[in-house]
Amino acid sequence: MKGRLGGRVLQFLLVVVVLLGGYLIAKRVIETRPVVRRTGITEVTPVVTVKTVRPSVRQVVIEKYGTVNPSETVKITPEVSGKVVYVAPGLKRGRTVRRGEVLLRIDDSDYRVLYAQAEAEVKRVKSELKRLKEEAEVSIQEWQRYSPGVEPPPLVAMTPQLEALEAELLAAESRLRKASLDLARTVLKAPFDAVVIEEAVGPGQYLNASQSVATLASTDAAEIRVYLKEGEVGFLDIPGLNTDSPEGSEALVHAEIGGVKRKWRGVVRRAEPVDERTRLFPVVVVVKSPYQATPPLSFGLFVRVLLKGKGIRDAVLLPEGAVQWDSDGTPFVWVVGENERLQKGKVEIVKLIEKGVLLRGLRDQQRVVLTPPAVATEGMKVRPVESP
């Protein structure tokens, strides 16, 4: 009995000690807690890069890409048959030939014989016609001697014979002209200054009339077909589409050949029918004498074309990242106003170009933020740094 009472007393004392210890520890913590002092809210001032704009006339430059093509191609085909006896050294793929240069010759032996025969036939018929006219004149004189004042009949005047010989002479002269043409056609010449695109002929080869032996592409001009969006058409002068002038906007054609950057000047020459699938406007840029310089603007090159458009008044060029959008889709830029605080500046996007975006709607000397804060609001204070 006494043992149980002693255990309960001991448990009670332990509980009292634990509670008293907890109380003392809590009191100590409360007495030694740090004192919290009330302070004002500090405003965070983000650093932003700005550009002081000066609206001016800016030329729109539209960048496109396309393939260089010849303005004219022709297939060289003989008009007579025969064996090839000569092929010009320049009649090789990729080589250039001059206007009037002999490309190949066909054996003309048979054609010379035919020409000589046709020429002899003409001389024979002329001689026969001359003799018959003299006989007819004598016959008419004899008739008039015995029948003065009476018109001699056709048989006496030999009219049917003369008409037949005159018709025969016309036919003989036609055969002579044909023989002359065939003889001349044994020599094939370049119709214009050109580069050889294809060739399939060699000495000793027998050619049939109308058999293609080569394809030539004119080097007078090269064409590059580029495709414009509907919104880009108004910035350019395009003959036949929005101007009556034979030449439109200027273009610069850029290409890299053998590690060397080259450029050529061209002009917009015409527009072609709108592509039904893409709804784009095909526009043809023409470069004159593409093979005049070395290296040439070779046909088949894939090139970059910069089309110089019209000037835009009161325009500003800014990086595309400077433009923001309202919830209703209206574009704007952040402008640093009085007391270095942000303001919205409504703008009109004129054209997206390679270097950024052309805008209108800003005033001279306004400071436009190029690097807006991630979370920007009107009236936010910023620390502007002018862009170099």
On whether the pTM is more than 0.75, the answer is no
Cα 189-190-193 angle, rounded to 5 deg: 155
pLDDT of residue 20: 73
pLDDT of residue 143: 82
Interval 255-264: pLDDT, tens: 998 888 999 9
Question: What whole-number distance in Å separates Cα of residue 47 and Cα of residue 376?
Answer: 12
Question: What whole-number distance in Å separates Cα of residue 159 and Cα of residue 164?
Answer: 9
Give the distance, in angstroms, between the CA of residue 34 and the centroid of all CA atoms in the same chain. Answer: 76
Q: What's at 346, amino acid-wise?
A: K
Q: Are 66 and 303 in contact (CB under 8 A)?
A: yes
Name the nearest CA neighbour of 371 among 331, 325, 333, 326. Answer: 333
Question: What whole-number distance in Å separates Cα of residue 182 and Cα of residue 187?
Answer: 9
3-state secondary structure 200-254: CCCCCCEECCCCCCEEEEECCEEEEEEEECHHHHCCCCCECCCECCCCCCEEEEE
Question: What whole-number distance in Å separates Cα of residue 149 and Cα of residue 156?
Answer: 15
Question: What whole-number distance in Å separates Cα of residue 382 and Cα of residue 20?
Answer: 57
Share of the chain above pLDDT 90, in %: 61
Per 3-state DSSP, the chain is made up of helix, strand and coil in percentages (nearest 5) of: 30, 35, 35
Place of tokens 């002009």: 267
Query: Mean of the per-residue pLDDT values for the chain?
Result: 89
pLDDT of residue 180: 95
Question: What whole-number distance in Å separates Cα of residue 182 and Cα of residue 144?
Answer: 49
Q: Are 157 and 117 in contact (CB under 8 A)?
A: no
Q: Which CATH number fits domain 63-69+218-311: 2.40.30.170, 3.40.50.970, 2.40.110.10, 2.60.40.3880?
A: 2.40.30.170
44, containing H or E segment: none
3-state secondary structure 308-375: EEEEEEEEEEECHHHCEECCCCCEEEEEECHHHEEEEEECEEEEEECCEEEEECCCCCCEEECCCCCC
CATH architecture of 48-58+313-386: Beta Barrel (2.40)
pLDDT of residue 39: 56
pLDDT of residue 140: 81
Q: Are 196 and 216 in contact (CB under 8 A)?
A: yes
- Could you write out the DSSP letters of every residue in 102-157? EEEEE--HHHHHHHHHHHHHHHHHHHHHHHHHHHHHHHHHHHHHHSTTSPPPHHHH
**Cβ atoms within 10 Å of 13's Cβ, excluding its own:** 10
Interval 277-322: pLDDT, tens: 999 999 999 999 999 988 999 999 999 999 998 888 999 989 988 9
Interval 10-69: pLDDT, tens: 777 776 777 777 767 776 767 776 665 665 555 678 999 999 999 999 888 899 999 999
pLDDT of residue 37: 64
- 72-107+186-217 belongs to which CATH class? mainly beta
Q: Are 356 and 320 in contact (CB under 8 A)?
A: yes
Indicate the SS3 state at residue 77. Answer: coil
